[in-house]
Structure 1
Amino acid sequence: MSIKHIRESLGQVATYFAEHPQDARSQDKPAVAVLESGLRCRADGPNGATLVSDMPAPVGGNASAPTPGWFLRAALANCDATVIAMRAAQLGIVLSRLEVTVGSESDNRGLFGVAESIPPGPLSMRVNVRIAAEDASAQQLHELVEWAEKHSPVSDAVRRAVPVTTEVTVG
């Protein structure tokens, strides 16, 4: 897609939601995960989308696919990159390079219940953005990334406490 097409599409959607705020809220497409075997799980989504995860051999998995934690980092990296590219298109900035790397630090004692005071998820996450554009200053690119970080849905989900409810059906 061309930058012009992206800019026009985003403008149309933003205008529509500004004029029809009641239509902006929607139910996101669910992901349905099933245990395939051992610790290998497959999540199915819309339009035939499939995501397979597994755990490393030392914890009983077969290491046949990335871990769910890696997919979390990949989702953040992809979402941030997408929102940066969207915002660049809105501003008419042609990116010559965009690379988003997400890393994290975890304490595995939390996952295995070794110490209840330690959370099972990441203790911290790092986002590194490498970006370049011939038609934008360093300041403009920093502002672009800042704006995108504030508007990235996955970034928001990992930074803000999102209410989660769990229902269990037995049988």
Structure 2
Amino acid sequence: MIRHATSADVPVIHAMVRELADYEKALDEARATEEQLREALFGERPAAFAHIAEDDTTGEPVGFALWFLNFSTWRGVHGIYLEDLYVRPAARGAGHGKALLTELARICVARGYERLEWSVLDWNEPSIDFYRALGARAQDEWTVYRLTDGALGALGSAG
């Protein structure tokens, strides 16, 4: 079962974000707090949205998708950028990841959004194979760039 996340889900979302960061070998970079997630998802002006995948028999959260809107100047409409998709290892293979992506695709279709996009680490072959099986195409001609920490501060304070 896939459902919208609620404020009560923030502790489990936070825990799964950390599990994902550990899997991606970047746990030290996962500095978000529960309060930051709560504000981003459920504050006065939510900046992101989340869905929870629940185990069909126990009702326990076993995965999540956290996403936000982006905009395509070429298409002239919004799309969804999937920031995180995670299913706990014990629950993998039961269709939860596909169900989460299906829900986001359903939202795109219903709202007239023309893109559902995300990034995947190039070494994560199981995820890459999963995404390809769904019909997703890698955007190999694009390279992601990122400014953080000192480089972001230096550029942001340049006069």
Q: Common fold, TM-score beyond 0.5?
A: no
TM range (shorter): under 0.3
User: What's the TM-score, normalizing by structure 2?
Assistant: 0.24
- The two structures have a TM-score, normalised by structure 1, of 0.23
Give the greater-gyration-radius structure (CA): 1
